Amino acid sequence: MKALPLPVLMFTLLTASSTALADDAALLKCRTLSDTATRVACYDAIPVGVAGPAVAAAAAAAPARTPEQYFGLEAVKQREAQPASIRSTVVGDFDGWGPGSQIRLANGQVWRVIDGSDAVLPRTKDAAVTIERNVFGTLFLKVDGGNSSAKVRRVQ
């Protein structure tokens, strides 16, 4: 392995150490705090990585999302723990589903039936539903008061 030229090595060490010094200063500041909750909050506030002030300001300005808003969006990298289920109502009249049906909930989510199942139910306005995740991560929609369920995937 070839050694780096001295100027390149010194530049690399200087830039790395300035980043490390900034982190060390924040860590040292937090160490001086005696109250446990305040100290932990101080450690949690230390930025991770090499994000500049513009990135940190953009992250702070972004609205916080609840775990329920991420429910069913498997492609989204999720930081919060997901709930085991959600409850909502189907918007308007509802009398069941068929293969490929899309079901719009009052919370704004749209779910598609993906298992080819169908169910004919008594017509109900704003039917209460539960969407549950089983042990394997599969999502099922169940109408309150009924005994059938459909395998669903969130599309919106």
Instruction: Report pLDDT digits (tens) over 45-71.
Output: 887 654 445 545 555 566 666 777 767
Residue type, 52: G
Beta strand ranges found along 2-144 (DSSP E): 85-89, 93-97, 102-104, 110-113, 119-125, 128-133, 139-143
* 91 Cβ contact list (under 8 Å, min separation 6): 104, 105, 106, 126
> Domain ranges in the chain?
6-62, 68-154
Mean pLDDT calculated for residue range 9-34: 65
Using pLDDT thresholds of 50, 70 and 90, give the confidence band for residue 153: very high
pLDDT digits (tens, 9 = 90+) for 104-150: 999 999 999 999 899 999 999 999 999 998 888 899 999 998 888 99
pLDDT of 19 reads: 47
3-state secondary structure of 141: strand
pLDDT of 144 reads: 92
* 56 Cβ contact list (under 8 Å, min separation 6): 47
pLDDT of 79 reads: 41
Which of 93 and 24 is assigned the larger pLDDT? 93
DSSP element (H, E) containing 153: strand 149-154
Label residue 153 exposed, middle or buried (CB < 10 Å: 0-12, 13-18, 19+): middle
- Residue (of 140, 37, 148) closest to 95 by Cα position: 148
pLDDT of 104 reads: 95
